[in-house]
Structure 1
Amino acid sequence: MRITKESIEKIRSSINLSDVVSMYVKVQKVGSRFRALCPFHNEKTPSFYIDDNKGLFHCFGCKAAGDIFSFVMKIENCDFYEAALKIANLANVSVEYEKGSFDDEKPDLIKNIFSEVTLFYNQNLKRNKSALSYLQNRKIKDFIIEKYKLGWASKSDLPFFDNLKKKYKLDNEILFQLGLLKKGDNSFYPFFYERLIIPIQNHYLEYVAFGGRTLNEEYGPKYLNSPEHQLFKKGNLLFNFAYARMEKENNKIIIVEGYFDVLSLVQIGINYVVAPLGTALTSYHLQILSRKFSQLYLLFDMDEAGRKATLSSIEIAIKFFSEIYVINLPKGIKDIDQFIKEKNVEKESFEKYITENSISGIDLIITNKLYLDKEKRDINKAYKNFIYFLHSLNDNILSSTLIKRAAYLDGTFSEDQIVNMYSSRKINDINDKILEKSKVEKNPQDKNYGEIKKLEMEFVGFIINNEDFINITRQYIKPDSFISSEASDFYKKALTSLNYKDRNMFLRNELTEEEANYMYNPSIKDYKDIQSVFEDYLSFFKLRELEKELEIINKEIKKAELNKFNTSELLEKKQFLISSIQRLKEFRKKIYKNE
């Protein structure tokens, strides 16, 4: 069913774009606009800008742009219709439809059904002494029961579902598809019975499924979740995420194993906690978490299964989080629920504990891949395993970070030696030839050095006059990325200047005469489209950083051709880099043609 044009405009004008964005990332007011860390790519300095007056957003880093509907569509991976309903729900705006089929109304119908069943189960719980006694023994307080609408499913719930069918004019088949009924030989019966019910909400606090815990082993597995349906995909939802993302002043997110781990932490005031719904963590889970939070904490059970889950989670999370921590519980404590109850843990003591007892997830995965926790290890096998892991990431920048850390943690090889292994893939036989490869030094005598230095100095002289440009640039360019030492020093001063209230005073005192000349007389200032010039210059430096990747691709193509593997993807990537570099060269010619 289509939403009327009038309703679409009403939805658009009913809520500020910045308010919607703030549900996913922290936003900061800057003049008449807002800025934030982009939710669509990893960054440490904000390059995502929101203009409420125009109702538009734009990221200078990944170029994502659009209005309130396209933002929700992109971040929630949904179509326009669902995005409009989500925004309308947030703004508490009624939606009017054009004439259409009943099928299009099913999402709302499903939510209504699960909402009614949730309330029914919750009322059941209040009448069931054994279920209430179980919760009391686990020290679950009344406010948690009400907040999460915990419930009870009994054997005698079938009349309720019969009334539900009559109310919404449904048949047994629909309730079966939603996981509320099961099929017997000649009849239907409740899917959940004699189970404690934990309602599952989507990321907008709407009920879409249930988790059920049996109190009697005779009734099947300990935990049972609703089967997936139109609005419930386990790989897309996390228990408690809707509440966790409301913590506006918090950058941490803790992932635990199950429902009661979450409830135990929320009960002591730790709201920034989520749990998967009976599945392993997925890339989508971590992607949506990384849009809102910058620090990831993993807190799984202290057994072998929990250890394996921790390592596999880090392997996925490493692509989305630069700060990953693993919380170790005291010896003899098997899970967080036991830890809180036996140690009488409260919010302040828990936060202090995780600060003092968390280890780096990055260090843990490197230790695992290089077998650093083994008394004896095969060096060749260890580094072969590590290099294969790096290539599986398909991210040269991330691999570079891991290589640097591995060199520090292990000490067997230097960073440059590991880079050579990674670049050449000569990992089956680590020999003296690899170890003796030395880093190519920057040579001021190269005939192109003067031109490169001029370009780099001009670029720094340009961005040093604009704090936003410096903040964006620092995400992609490190001081040692510059070929000329002069530009590297100049750039370091540009970065340092951000720490001073009076930047101009600092720069006047610190800049050399040459640097000051580039700052106060930037050659780029006369161009009308300053933003485009900045983006193209920034792209040039980003592409230069990828020259090593181009070398790697050329080697991979040769190797693939020798083994008669498909090279189409590699050739496509190579062609993209070559055409991008050529485009930038042509652009530079246009910039300097009137010089």
Structure 2
Amino acid sequence: MSKVIPKRVLEDIRFRSDIVDVIGSYFNLQKAGSAFKATCPFHKEKTPSFHINPQRQIFHCFGCGKGGDVFRFVMEYEGVDFIGAIKLLAHRAGVRIEIEEGDEAGDSDKAALYKLHADVAALYQKKLLEENPSSIPKQYLLKRDLSQETVEQFQIGYAPDQWDFLINWAKETKHGNDLLEKAGLIVRRDKTSTGDDYYDRFRNRLMFPITDEQGRVIGFSGRCLDDKEKTAKYINSPETLLFKKSRILYALDKARRFIVESREAIICEGQIDVIRCHQAGFKAAVASQGTAFTEEHVRILKRYADSVVIVFDTDKAGQDATIRTVTEFMDAGMAVRAGILPEKEDPDSFIRKKGAEGFKAVIDQAVSAVVYQIRVLSKREDAKSEIGAMRISKAVLQTISHSPNAVQRAKLIQETAERLNLPATALQDELRFLLRNTRPQITAGTTGKETSAPAKEQPKEEINLCEHMGNITDHPEIGELVRKYLPTKMIQDPTCRSFIEICLESAATGRTIQDVISDKEDKSGEMQNFAARVIMTPTKITGTETSHSEAVKDIILYIWRRKLEHERTEIAKQPDSKNEERRRQITYDLKSLRKWDDGAPIIDLELSS
């Protein structure tokens, strides 16, 4: 068996290597809406055509055609192979490279775990819906004023007060206990035992499925429904092959579109706070998953936002958590504000009392990080005394020192000086002693290469289909349409055909398109370039098309018409009675293949014949 770098290590390196940060360490980037652009390092140009998409974590030059993920960029820019790029990025990210025996079991385990989590989420929700209106879980939802629409949107469910509810379900549905144990859904009674003596991890709890950025269920958080019971209020799934709590933000799959639009995220402490925000219309709200905000959480959010508003609980723990979280975001160069709620309130309770308008005022009137910190510390120290002013200013300067941006530091220094009635110059002098070293950078190399744009002409409709398929994560229904109605052998262009097959594999396995491409040993980088181009090109929805699905249906109809027209032409070259009958049938079918409702049955017949 060959030696390989484990996929989990590659995923860790990719996760820690934000493409904007990596490319930005080589040359200056310009902000362009939610993306970035620059003059291309791979060919001479005056107008920037090199674009970076932080949400997709890919780059593409519309001038020379170069494109791909962060590994491909380092390969091209540094002139190294894939292993060389891995080593450079691993060193930059502080990741230790491990070598293991090759093993394909991980991918199949992931696919099985994704399906299991989806099935269990549906089971828990079904159980909740079956409960009597007077039952404890239904009464809890009523008390919390969570609508049925919200319950369905967040897939809220109920794990009954049974030790073997899930175990019995697994027996009926032929799910093995080993898979449930890998998912953290059941626990072995005796950890030293090798038998099948298990019990359900979640019992008598309201269940909140935890989803990844693509909306796939990867874990659960269970809220205890008996406040008298001596147990943790919330229990989360343990870390598994799918669930890494330091990399998961609750509701990001639902919030990311709204975050991109506003370029600002609302950060809450818990799931109920986030759900309440979404129900009230504040759909850019997310929360960490049972842990403090980490560098990884910030790295994820930075792909979508420039700034955040932190709205944590108002107790001392919440205040301290706010200040700690502020520094994480400032380390990443993001703007941070803090929303101030009345004492003993959290977003959930406040919105229920004051409504959406009241919470909007909290967001609109959110203060800067230093104003919030001074406000908090002034209640703990006498800001008018010499020692009090020294302690507060030292703590605030520690916070400001986290910012890598000179303009942000200057603005925060000015605010601090005004609030504490101190000279800004004195604060600047103190700050100089606190500023940390700048982050490490990869040594930039030069390629000195001229690359010409690919000249190969590809069928327009097939390119359009690829552009839509690049959105398969957000629109899985288009994958189902292609899988059911369009055999990939009908795609004439080999690059388009390969890309569509990669997209279908991505949808089936739950892996990203870039991950699937990486496994294809695309040494030339052709597929990386092509994928980046079609993904970053805005998809065109024209004419009577109203959605990606409608556009894909039109393309499928076109490709079938193309196939049948070619067949009719070939038949005409060899006339006989049988061919004439087929020719007439094709002529009739071609008329039906102008509209989906008429054409879909024709496609079904063609595929079954």
Residue 249 of structure 1: SS of its match in structure 2?
helix
Name the aligned partner's letter for residue 393 of structure 1.
H
Relative to 1, partners in 2 of residues 1:259 and 1:109: Cα closer, same or farther, differing over 3 Å?
same
CA displacement at 1:287 relative to structure 2: 2.1
- State the identity as a percent: 24
CA-to-aligned-CA distance 1:294-317 (integer Å, 9 cap, x gap): 221111112222111111111222
Name the aligned partner's letter for residue 111 of structure 1.
Y
CA displacement at 1:169 relative to structure 2: 6.1
Relative to 1, partners in 2 of residues 1:373 and 1:51: Cα closer, same or farther, differing over 3 Å?
farther
- For residues 341 and 282 of structure 1, the distance between their equivalents in structure 2, rounded to whole angstroms, comes to 29
The structure showing larger relative contact order (alpha-carbon pairs under 8 Å, at least 6 residues apart) is: 2
TM-score (norm. length: structure 1): 0.53
Name the aligned partner's letter for residue 229 of structure 2.
E
- For residues 249 and 141 of structure 2, the distance between their equivalents in structure 1, rounded to whole angstroms, comes to 22
Note if contact 2:185-2:202 (Cα within 8 Å) is conserved in structure 1: yes
CA displacement at 1:420 relative to structure 2: 3.4
What pairs with 1:385-464 in structure 2 (closer than 5 Å)?
Answer: 385-386=394-395, 389=398, 393=402, 395=404, 397=406, 399=409, 402-415=412-425, 417-423=426-432
- For residues 180 and 268 of structure 2, the distance between their equivalents in structure 1, rounded to whole angstroms, comes to 31
Relative to 1, partners in 2 of residues 1:52 and 1:270: Cα closer, same or farther, differing over 3 Å?
farther
- For residues 176 and 410 of structure 1, the distance between their equivalents in structure 2, rounded to whole angstroms, comes to 55
CA displacement at 1:269 relative to structure 2: 1.7
Q: How many residues align?
A: 371
Note if contact 2:389-2:420 (Cα within 8 Å) is conserved in structure 1: no
Residue 117 of structure 1: SS of its match in structure 2?
helix
CA-to-aligned-CA distance 1:241-271 (integer Å, 9 cap, x gap): 1111122422221111111111111112211
2:321 corresponding residue in structure 1: 309
CA displacement at 1:319 relative to structure 2: 1.7
TM-score (norm. length: structure 2): 0.52
Relative to 1, partners in 2 of residues 1:413 and 1:112: Cα closer, same or farther, differing over 3 Å?
same
2:105 corresponding residue in structure 1: 102
CA displacement at 1:276 relative to structure 2: 1.3
Residue 245 of structure 1: SS of its match in structure 2?
helix
Question: Which one of the candidate residues 173, 176, 182 is aligned to 2:181?
Answer: 176
CA displacement at 1:320 relative to structure 2: 2.4
Name the aligned partner's letter for residue 149 of structure 2.
F
Note if contact 1:25-1:37 (Cα within 8 Å) is conserved in structure 2: no
CA displacement at 1:293 relative to structure 2: 0.9
CA displacement at 1:189 relative to structure 2: 1.1
Question: Which one of the candidate residues 195, 198, 207 is aligned to 2:208?
Answer: 198
Relative to 1, partners in 2 of residues 1:155 and 1:407: Cα closer, same or farther, differing over 3 Å?
closer
CA-to-aligned-CA distance 1:467-523 (integer Å, 9 cap, x gap): xxxxxxxxxxxxxxxxxxxxxxxxxxxxxxxxxxxxxxxxxxxxxxxxxxxxxxxxx
2:99 corresponding residue in structure 1: none
Residue 54 of structure 1: SS of its match in structure 2?
coil
Name the aligned partner's letter for residue 236 of structure 2.
N
1:267 corresponding residue in structure 2: 279
CA displacement at 1:104 relative to structure 2: 3.5
Name the aligned partner's letter for residue 184 of structure 2.
G
2:336 corresponding residue in structure 1: 324
- For residues 33 and 266 of structure 1, the distance between their equivalents in structure 2, rounded to whole angstroms, comes to 37
Relative to 1, partners in 2 of residues 1:165 and 1:139: Cα closer, same or farther, differing over 3 Å?
same
Note if contact 1:26-1:36 (Cα within 8 Å) is conserved in structure 2: no
Residue 393 of structure 1: SS of its match in structure 2?
coil
Residue 303 of structure 2: SS of its match in structure 1?
helix
Note if contact 1:152-1:194 (Cα within 8 Å) is conserved in structure 2: yes
Residue 245 of structure 2: SS of its match in structure 1?
coil
2:603 corresponding residue in structure 1: none
Question: Which one of the candidate residues 276, 283, 288 is aligned to 2:288?
Answer: 276
- For residues 105 and 423 of structure 2, the distance between their equivalents in structure 1, rounded to whole angstroms, comes to 66
- For residues 235 and 296 of structure 2, the distance between their equivalents in structure 1, rounded to whole angstroms, comes to 23
Note if contact 1:58-1:65 (Cα within 8 Å) is conserved in structure 2: no
Residue 112 of structure 1 pairs with residue 115 of structure 2: yes
Note if contact 1:27-1:34 (Cα within 8 Å) is conserved in structure 2: no
CA displacement at 1:36 relative to structure 2: 6.2
Relative to 1, partners in 2 of residues 1:122 and 1:403: Cα closer, same or farther, differing over 3 Å?
same
- For residues 215 and 63 of structure 2, the distance between their equivalents in structure 1, rounded to whole angstroms, comes to 26
Relative to 1, partners in 2 of residues 1:159 and 1:401: Cα closer, same or farther, differing over 3 Å?
closer
Segments of structure 2 that go 5 or more residues without pairing to the other structure are 5-18, 20-31, 39-46, 96-101, 436-609
2:242 corresponding residue in structure 1: 231
Note if contact 2:166-2:200 (Cα within 8 Å) is conserved in structure 1: no
1:359 corresponding residue in structure 2: 367
1:140 corresponding residue in structure 2: 146
1:376 corresponding residue in structure 2: 385
Name the aligned partner's letter for residue 155 of structure 2.
K
Note if contact 1:315-1:365 (Cα within 8 Å) is conserved in structure 2: no
Residue 221 of structure 1 pairs with residue 263 of structure 2: no
Name the aligned partner's letter for residue 305 of structure 1.
A
Name the aligned partner's letter for residue 214 of structure 1.
C
- For residues 422 and 384 of structure 2, the distance between their equivalents in structure 1, rounded to whole angstroms, comes to 15
Note if contact 1:181-1:190 (Cα within 8 Å) is conserved in structure 2: yes
CA displacement at 1:183 relative to structure 2: 2.6
CA displacement at 1:123 relative to structure 2: 0.6
CA displacement at 1:58 relative to structure 2: 10
- For residues 144 and 301 of structure 1, the distance between their equivalents in structure 2, rounded to whole angstroms, comes to 22
Name the aligned partner's letter for residue 304 of structure 2.
K
Note if contact 1:57-1:65 (Cα within 8 Å) is conserved in structure 2: no
CA displacement at 1:291 relative to structure 2: 2.0
Name the aligned partner's letter for residue 202 of structure 1.
D
Name the aligned partner's letter for residue 107 of structure 1.
K
Relative to 1, partners in 2 of residues 1:372 and 1:413: Cα closer, same or farther, differing over 3 Å?
farther
Segments of structure 1 that go 5 or more residues without pairing to the other structure are 3-16, 18-23, 42-47, 80-98, 427-595
Relative to 1, partners in 2 of residues 1:65 and 1:271: Cα closer, same or farther, differing over 3 Å?
farther
